[in-house]
Amino acid sequence: MIKALQLRINLQQERQPDGLLNKAAYDLGMKSSEISGIKILRKSIDARKRNIMFNYKVEVYINEPVPETSDYHFDYKDVSNAKPIHIIGFGPAGMYAALRCIELGFKPIVLERGKNVQDRRRDLKAINQDHFVNEDSNYCFGEGGAGTYSDGKLYTRSLKRGDVRRIFENLVYHGATDQILVDAHPHIGTNKLPKVVQNIRENIIKFGGEVHFETRVTDFTIKNNKIVAIQLNNDNELDVEKVILATGHSARDIFYLLNDKKIKLEAKSFAMGVRVEHPQDIIDGIQYHCKGEQRDELLPAASYSLVQQVNDRGVYSFCMCPGGFIVPAATANGEVVVNGMSPSKRNNKFANSGIVTEINADKDLYKYEHFGALKALEYQKDLERLAFTAGGRRQSAPAQRLTDFVEGKLSSSLNETSYQPGLKSAPLHSLLPKIIGGSLRKGFKAFGEKMKGYYTEEANIIGVESRTSSPVNIPRTETLEHPEIANLFPCGEGGGYAGGIISAAMDGERCAEAACV
């Protein structure tokens, strides 16, 4: 017999080896010896009150064994001599598109401008230490995409776009911990995700697919409203039948290429702002009601989610990284972009989060109208150049104490930071456009009311957080093809159809299913 239960246990019960078992037996009115095992389906923490509780969704197996294998099976077959599908980009969308092509009996040929996960490390080091950005290999470009070295958070609200569980099970199949199947906000971590990504690549190659690194697409040959060939940076040309475009939202050269070829694009609303960084102890104290004390060892580094309406414009936290680092996410020299990441243990002494506000492409960018579909992209670029100048024309980032930013004064000194290239004090309150700076200043005040202790001079704000989502939408029809180019399948974040690792992976699968017919 199998019984489904919702269980709540406190810290003391969580600390006991048989705490969950005893709670299940008590709720079912039976002896714990009658229970063969418990399968945990979901786990979350309720820290709204001082008596912190753990919520479990479980299946209790009574007088029968707990199954050891997953209900999901991945039917990979040899596609060495199968019909090819060309995939541009090897982030989550491209990886999952390639895996799905193999399941469907097609040969994926992946073209990735960046390097593999191992070789990327040297280029990341050059950004942090030498302030030099390799425009093809950085925190955004390379095997696994931006998520590989900027956190690996797996939370998504896109539950209607595909089978979320299937994506998680596939990550476990390729080496991720099965804890991601349980946690309410699953996370792999930047120290572990590269190995999972490498395993996916090796599996694609094992079953006959191809993955080509340092291979950037420079041009398309279009005839009769179809792409018939792709030109590459190594002067090679590939004949193609179907193309899945999964380049991510930072591949600006692709947007310019499509625009130059008069292929339809649309400006897309997005969000911009800053990163705010607190000592993790402050966030733990607020969320776990333990100010002045260390959090309980059973509790993870605390996170938060905040939102506030300011003059009918949303201001909200984005990509919150407890126990994490702030990293330089620029994709070209002459710009500064910041992002956040966390290792799997989330044991760094800082917490950081993007705090961003909405930029409406139809209403807010009237000075950029002459750029047409690329107006939001150009606005984004201008703020990244401004950050570069304000940061000292290096990868150092402009920063300000949180309280000084809200009060409108330059910080005479800054707090310690996790951002390796360093910080430079700058008046972000006056440098940021009013539409962003004004909204953020009011938003931070409101957040301080919602989380007592959040508004503090011990926090830095660091600019700019500008790559939240694509500023360009590549339209597609119900068949997932571009309305003008019949064999082009815009995919994932770069097309404007995803907002993170899981939603991009799901969209990659959908595009593969559409292309493999």
Give the per-residue pLDDT at 156. Answer: 56
Q: How far is CA 176 from the centre of its chain?
A: 16
Give the per-residue pLDDT at 344. Answer: 83
The CB density around residue 329, as the number of other CB atoms within 10 Å, is 25
**Could you identify the residue written with the tokens 């107006």?**
375
Give the per-residue pLDDT at 256. Answer: 98
Give the per-residue pLDDT at 238. Answer: 97
Distances (CA, A) of 266 to 146, 151, 222, 262, 435: 23, 29, 20, 12, 22
From 415, 262, 327, select the one nearest 123 (Cα to Cα).
327
pLDDT tens track for 97-117: 999 999 999 999 999 999 999
**Could you identify the residue written with the tokens 């690194």?**
213
From 273, 253, 244, 295, select the one nearest 88 (Cα to Cα).
244
pTM over 0.75: yes
Confidence band of 162 (pLDDT split at 50, 70, 90): low
How far apart are alpha carbons 339 and 263 in whole angstroms?
Answer: 31
Tokens at 195, concatenated: 């190995």
How far apart are alpha carbons 205 and 78 in whole angstroms?
Answer: 10
How far apart are alpha carbons 468 and 477 in whole angstroms?
Answer: 24
How far apart are alpha carbons 57 and 41 in whole angstroms?
Answer: 5
Taking the CA atoms of 404, 408, 412 and 417 in sequence, report the sign of the dihedral they define.
Answer: positive
How far apart are alpha carbons 103 and 399 in whole angstroms?
Answer: 48
Per-range mean pLDDT, top range of 139-148, 223-232, 500-509: 223-232
Cβ distance 361 to 341 under 8 Å?
A: no
Tokens at 215, concatenated: 């291979």
How far apart are alpha carbons 149 and 117 in whole angstroms?
Answer: 9
Cβ distance 336 to 397 under 8 Å?
A: yes
Give the per-residue pLDDT at 83. Answer: 98
Cβ distance 258 to 250 under 8 Å?
A: no
The CB density around residue 378, as the number of other CB atoms within 10 Å, is 17
User: What angle in degrees, to the nearest 10, is found between the helix axes of 252-260 and 375-390?
Assistant: 140
Average pLDDT of the chain is 94
pLDDT tens track for 32-76: 999 999 999 999 999 999 999 999 999 999 988 888 777 788 999
From 350, 327, 315, 341, select the one nearest 448 (Cα to Cα).
315
Cβ distance 56 to 7 under 8 Å?
A: yes
Determine the average pLDDT of the residues in 494-498.
95
How far apart are alpha carbons 82 and 494 in whole angstroms?
Answer: 28
Give the per-residue pLDDT at 334. Answer: 98
DSSP 130: I
Bridge partners of 221, per DSSP, are: 229
Residue, of 306 and 187, whose pLDDT is higher: 306
From 110, 402, 410, select the one nearest 243 (Cα to Cα).
110
Instruction: Please give the helix or strand (H or E) that residue 490 lies within, else none.
Output: strand 488-490
Q: How far is CA 311 from the centre of its chain?
A: 28
How far apart are alpha carbons 44 and 8 in whole angstroms?
Answer: 10
Cβ distance 132 to 35 under 8 Å?
A: no
Burial group, residue 449, by CB count within 10 angstroms (0-12, 13-18, 19+): exposed
Per the document, the length of the chain is: 517
How far apart are alpha carbons 509 and 482 in whole angstroms?
Answer: 17
Determine the average pLDDT of the residues in 301-326.
95
Tell me the one-letter amino acid at 322: P
DSSP 226: E
Cβ distance 371 to 471 under 8 Å?
A: no
Cβ distance 111 to 217 under 8 Å?
A: yes
The CB density around residue 462, as the number of other CB atoms within 10 Å, is 27
